[in-house]
Amino acid sequence: MNQIGGSAQLTGLTVQARDVFGGVHHHVPAAAPLPLPRQLPPVVRHFTDRDEDRRILDNARASGACLFVISGIGGVGKTALATWWLSQQDHAGGQFYADLSGPLEPVAPTVVLRRWLRAVGIDRPPADLAELIGLWRSATAARTVAVLIDGADDCARVRPLIPAGTVSSTVVTSRSALRDLAVDGAVLHPLKPLPLPAAVQLLTRMAGDHPIASAPETAARLAEACHRLPLPLVLAGARLSARPQHSADAAVNALTSSYSPAPANPEEPIRMLTTAALDATYQTLEAEHQGIYRALGLLPVTDADPDMIAAACQTSRGHAEWALEALDEQQLLEPLSQHGSRVRYRLLPAAREHAQALALRHDPEQDRLLVLRRLCEWILDTSTHAQFALTPAQATLRRSTADPEPAVPPPFDSDVGALAWLESFEASLLDVLGAAETAGWDELVWRLVDSFWPLFLRRHPYELWIAAHEIGLGAARRTSNAAAVRQMLLSGAIGLNAAGRVKDAIRWYGEASDAARDAGDLRDEGQALLGLGACHHDAGMPEQARPYLTRAIALWRSCGYPRGVALATIVLGEIALAEAPGHALGLFTEARVELLEVDDPYDAARALTLQGHARVLTGDTETGIREMTTGLAALADAGGTRWQARALEWLGDAHRSKGDGAAAREYYQQAEQLYEVIRPADAERIRALAAGL
């Protein structure tokens, strides 16, 4: 005999051979705790002085200020001060960082908020900016966090990123004063060049064993020639360290001979000074490292790693790693947080402009395009690896067998690593697509969009999802590739519908349906019809939905696609639930059998959960609860947040119908916790249900 009774507590997947009775409760197993976010860049090794600035910031914080704007010209050390100051504080809720100065366009607040919310365990943040802002403020209301928003260009991009409460600290760096943030209570702190003693100290520290350390007057002249700005001082010192035989007088002359003493723009001497210092540093690099530096200025990405540079510059990974380390030593790159054993780097903004200018001056257009092409092909190769690992069923337009295999294995060895790699391009994917589109590589463009499907499906970055598919659709049309056009329409329509743009989704599905019918592609036509049915069902128009779904089923049965038949049958069952739960029960049972036969356990678990819900509505409450409990366990194992929440809600309904208010309240509370991170409006609805018990 195998029985479970009494007040048993079931956690995880439970297999029951015979009877289940009594007060049985299922608890979704808690996910492994995420590491505390520690996203601040490392404090620069050469951070010097700033005692007065730190005192001003400390006093303002002690007086209750929690928002600070550090402004100043490029190279004055805004980020270094912000990073050092925030790292000295106790922020038990974690540290969050965003650089808003993207490679081509500023990074959107939606991209930053999704990344930060995922870092606190919200797996699928909502699409709408207002919902993202609300969720971020909810997530930080009880946390003490440090937030660094780097490279801001206007207040509108900053405000959505400010955390809730007064116990956290947010620092914004900008070349402009962002005075409008004073309305939000910001302390505006313009950062000036270093005092002369600190400037000399920084210069001699960076110069190492160079004789300038024993020549204070010469060091002071060189510091003044650098306008006492940290960036030129660091570059000049690094150059002296690398060339101990060169005199400091020669360094002063090199730095001061390249700009006019009275330019129209007061920042022009600083810009020219920085350029001169970068020129001098560039000349000390090996020829291979110079080429990689120039290539970095051409890449439309926010940061780089050895795998990327090895592919783009057609060199070995070891050489790429060595080159990046050398550029870091010369203070041309900033090391970012380490991903496993792989270090990523960001080119300093001034260095990016300098490297790009050098590439335009020295490298033929054909060579510059070749660097970009190799980058795009490497991204496509790697994202295709990720697509096959994460969503093999959706990889319908695979690269042709004539394409060469990737020269190197992907820079990840797990599903988690594959998804993290895709996420690392969330802020720069549109820039990559735009660069490829400008170059005229339309085939490459739509393939790139298609290969990032796992990111769209699992992370729901709706704004990026839709924008990328609009670019991909245009590219596919220009190639006259009918199959690619349908793929872009179908996968783009899914994003449009999920984002609430139902009319646009219906239009895209309609175009896909017409195109598939003209091409005689029954499978794609059925997919479009299923989408049209789902759109009308979601919009509360079941009568309009049914004809699309029944037509999809007929087409898929005729071409032998049982999985599609089952998926459309599930939607028909959902439509039937309200008026004919017995009929819906039969549809869900039929769909589950077909899904198990084609080895689709996730959708089979959805069908089983719906089957249990329908059974409760027909009056067989105990059997329905058992089926929903089994389905919920499988959904939890697969990480389907929305469907877990729905299953928990239905279990709450079932227990409420049998008069077990305590169990119903417990299930509602679990459902509310999941809805809170994906659909706050549903969380509020569930709270009302629980409160009514």
Whole-angstrom distance, CA of residue 223 vs CA of residue 195: 10
Placement of tokens 């805004």 in the chain: 78
> 211: burial class by Cβ within 10 Å (0-12, 13-18, 19+)?
middle
pLDDT tens sequence across 71-115: 988 888 899 999 999 999 888 889 999 999 877 788 889 989 988
Q: d(Cα 172, Cα 155) in Å, to the nearest integer? A: 10
Phi and psi angles of residue 36, each rounded to the nearest 5 degrees, phi first: -65, 130
pLDDT of residue 523: 92
CA dihedral 537, 540, 544, 550 (to 10 degrees): 20
Distance of CA 176 to the CA centre of its chain: 27
Exposure class string for 166-200: b at 16+ Cβ within 10 A, else e: ebbbbbbbbbeebeebeeeebbebebebbbeebbb
Alpha helices, DSSP H only, in 29-161? 51-62, 78-87, 109-119, 129-140, 155-158
DSSP per residue over 53-84, as a string? HHHHHHHHHHTT--EEEEE-STTS-HHHHHHH
- What pLDDT, on a 0 to 100 scale, did the predictor assign at position 462? 84
Q: How far apart are the first and last CA of the chain?
A: 36
Q: Please give the Cα distance from 497 to 595 (Å, whole number).
A: 24
Q: Measured between alpha carbons, how far is residue 521 from residues 51, 399, 486, 565 in Å?
A: 70, 19, 10, 16
pLDDT category at 265 given cuts 50, 70, 90 is low
Per residue in 224-234, pLDDT (tens digit) is 888 888 888 88
Q: Do 614 and 581 form a contact (C-beta atoms < 8 A)?
A: yes
pLDDT reading at 677 higher than 90: no
Please tell me the predicted confidence (pLDDT) of residue 401: 38
Decide if 464 contacts 111 (C-beta within 8 A).
yes
For residue 403, is pLDDT > 60? no
Give me the amino acid identity at 311: A
Among 87-101, 163-177, 328-342, 376-390, which stretch is predicted with the lowest mean pLDDT?
328-342
Task: Over range 34-42, report the average pLDDT.
Answer: 84
The pLDDT score that the predictor gives to residue 342 is 67
Question: What is the distance between the alpha carbons of residues 222 and 429, in angstroms, rounded to a whole number?
Answer: 42
DSSP 631: H
pLDDT tens-digit profile of 418-441? Answer: 988 998 898 899 999 999 999 999
Eight-state DSSP code of residue 150: E
Question: What is the pLDDT averaged over residues 133-151?
Answer: 90
**For the CA atoms of 311, 315, 319, 324, what is the dihedral angle to 10 degrees?**
-40
d(CA 452, CA 460): 12
Q: How many CA atoms lie within 13 A of 603 on its CB side?
A: 23
Q: What is the pLDDT of residue 269?
A: 62
Both tokens of residue 561?
Answer: 């696609």
Closest to 620 (Cα-Cα) out of 630, 629, 612: 612
User: Average pLDDT, stretch 658-670?
Assistant: 92
Q: Which residues, in sequence order, are CB contacts of 431 under 8 Å at separation 6+?
A: 102, 103, 104, 105, 300, 301
* 599 vs 39: CA distance, rounded Å: 40
Q: According to DSSP H, which parts of 299-410 are helical?
A: 306-312, 317-329, 349-362, 365-390
> Above 50 in pLDDT, residue 501?
yes
Q: How many CB atoms lie within 10 A of CB 314?
A: 13
Residue 309, φ and ψ in degrees, nearest 5: -70, -35
How sure is the predictor about 33, in pLDDT bands with cuts at 50, 70 and 90? low
pLDDT band at residue 15, thresholds of 50, 70 and 90? Answer: very low
Query: For 629-669, where are the E strands, in sequence order?
Result: none
pLDDT at 443: 95
pLDDT > 90: percent of the chain: 53
**Distance between CA 471 and CA 301 in Å, rounded?**
18
SS3 168: coil
Q: What is the pTM of this model?
A: 0.77
Asked if residue 450 lies in contact with residue 486, where contact means CB atoms within 8 angstroms, the answer is: no
Q: Which 3-state string (H, E, C) describes 550-563?
A: HHHHHHHHHHCCHH
Q: What is the pLDDT of residues 267-293, one digit of tens each?
A: 566 677 778 778 878 888 899 999 999
Q: What is the pLDDT of residues 522-566, one digit of tens each?
A: 999 999 999 999 999 988 899 999 999 999 999 999 999 999 999
* pLDDT for residue 261 is more than 50: no
Residue range 176-199: mean pLDDT, rounded: 92
Tokens of 107: 């990074």
pLDDT at 23 over 60: no
Provide φ and ψ at 347, rounded to 5°.
-75, 130
Cα–Cα distance for residue pair 530/104, rounded to 1 Å: 38
Cα-trace Rg, the chain: 29
Write down how long the chain is. Answer: 693
